[in-house]
Amino acid sequence: MPRHALREEARTLVQSLAPLRGREDDALVGTLATRITLEAQLGLSTTLLAERTTGVYVLGPLLVAVTGAFLAA
C-alpha cells in the first residue's frame, strides 16, 4: 500500500475512534486529547522534515561505509 493511502486510512481510523461532532465542551477536551494520542501512536504527527532527518541518520553512515569500501579497493 502506498504511504499516502496508509496515512488516509489512519486518519479515517482516528475520526471514527474519536469523533468531534456532537460533543459538549467538557467531552471535547477529552476527545481532543484522545485524538492527539492516537495520531502520535499512528505516526500522523510526524513532519516531512523529521522523516527526512531520520533518513539522513540511517543513510549517512551507510554511504560513508560504501564510499570507504570503494576507495580502499
Question: pLDDT of 62-73, one tens digit each?
Answer: 888 889 888 876
| 32 and 55 co-located in one domain | no
- Closest by CA position to 47, among listed 20, 7, 17: 7
Tens of pLDDT, residue by residue over 15-69, are 888 888 877 877 888 888 888 898 888 888 776 666 677 777 778 888 888 898 8
pLDDT of residue 46: 72
Where in the sequence is the domain holding 25, given as residue range(s)? Answer: 1-42
The pLDDT, as a whole number, for residue 50 is 67
Split into its structural domains, the chain has a count of 2
Do 33 and 55 lie in a common domain?
Answer: no
Considering the domain architecture, whether residues 2 and 32 belong to the same structural domain is answered as yes
pTM for the full model?
0.54
Give the pLDDT of residue 41: 85
